[in-house]
Amino acid sequence: MTYESLSKLFYKDSSSDRFERNAVLAKARRQADSSFLLGMKNENGEELFFSMPRELAVLSEAVLCREREISDSLSTLPGIARSALVRNLVISEVVSTNQLEGIHSTRKQINDLLEGADSPSEPAAQKRFRELAKLYMGLSDPRGFSRPEAPEDIRLIYDRVMDGENLGGDAPDGRLFRKNAVEVIGAGGKVLHEGLMPEEAIVGALSSMLSLVNSPDVPGLMAAIAAHYIFEYVHPFYDGNGRTGRYLLALHLSRPLSQLTALSLSRAIADSKAAYYRAFKDAENPLNHGEITTFMICMMEYLSSAQVALLDDLGSNAGRLREAEIALRKVEEERDLTSKQVDVLFVLVQSSLFAAFPDVSLADLALAVGLTRQGARPHVKELEKLGLVVATSQKPLRFALAEEARRLLSLS
Residue-level pLDDT at 119:
58
Q: Report the amino acid identity of residue 143.
A: R
Residue-level pLDDT at 193:
81
Structural domain spans, the chain: 6-311, 336-409
Q: Which residues make up each annotated binding site for ATP?
A: 239-246
Q: How far apart (Å, rounded) are the C-alpha atoms in residues 269 and 93? A: 10
Residue range 62-120, pLDDT digits in tens:
999 999 999 999 999 999 999 999 999 999 999 999 999 889 999 999 999 998 766 56
Q: Which residues make up each annotated binding site?
A: 239-246
Sequence-distant (6+) residues with CB within 8 A of 198 are: 179
230 CB neighbour count, 10 Å cutoff: 23
**Angle, alpha carbons 84-101-260 (nearest 5°):** 25
Residue 236: asked if its preceding bond is cis (omega within 30°), the reply is no
Helix (H) or strand (E) holding 291: none
Helix (H) or strand (E) holding 359: none
Report the predicted TM-score, pTM, of the whole model to 2 decimal places.
0.93
Sequence-distant (6+) residues with CB within 8 A of 147 are: 213, 251, 252, 255
Catalytic residue among 104, 193, 228, 235: 235
In the chain, count of helices (H) and strands (E)?
A: 19, 7
Q: Are the C-beta atoms of residues 47 and 38 closer than 8 Å to each other? A: yes
**Angle, alpha carbons 149-290-230 (nearest 5°):** 25
Class of residue 97 by CB neighbours under 10 A (exposed 0-12, middle 13-18, buried 19+): buried
Ranges of residues in the chain whose predicted pLDDT is under 70: 1, 117-126, 142-145, 186-189
**235 is an active site residue:** yes
Between the CA of residue 184 and those of 141, 295, 303, what are the distances in Å? 34, 18, 25
336-409 CATH, one of 1.10.10.10, 3.40.50.970, 3.40.50.11540, 1.10.286.10: 1.10.10.10
Residue-level pLDDT at 192:
74
DSSP structure string for 3-20: ---HHHHHHH--STTHHH
Q: How far apart (Å, rounded) are the C-alpha atoms in residues 339 and 347? A: 12
Between the CA of residue 172 and those of 82, 182, 199, 241, 247, what are the distances in Å? 38, 11, 11, 11, 19
DSSP code for 117:
P
DSSP structure string for 374-410: HHHHHHHHHHHHTTSEEEEEETTEEEEE-HHHHHHTT
Q: Are the C-beta atoms of residues 197 and 236 closer than 8 Å to each other? A: no
Q: How far apart (Å, rounded) are the C-alpha atoms in residues 200 and 197? A: 8
Q: How far apart (Å, rounded) are the C-alpha atoms in residues 4 and 1? A: 9
Residue range 274-296, pLDDT digits in tens:
899 899 999 999 999 999 999 99
Q: Are the C-beta atoms of residues 63 and 265 closer than 8 Å to each other? A: no
Query: CATH fold of 6-311, please?
Result: Fic-like fold (1.10.3290)
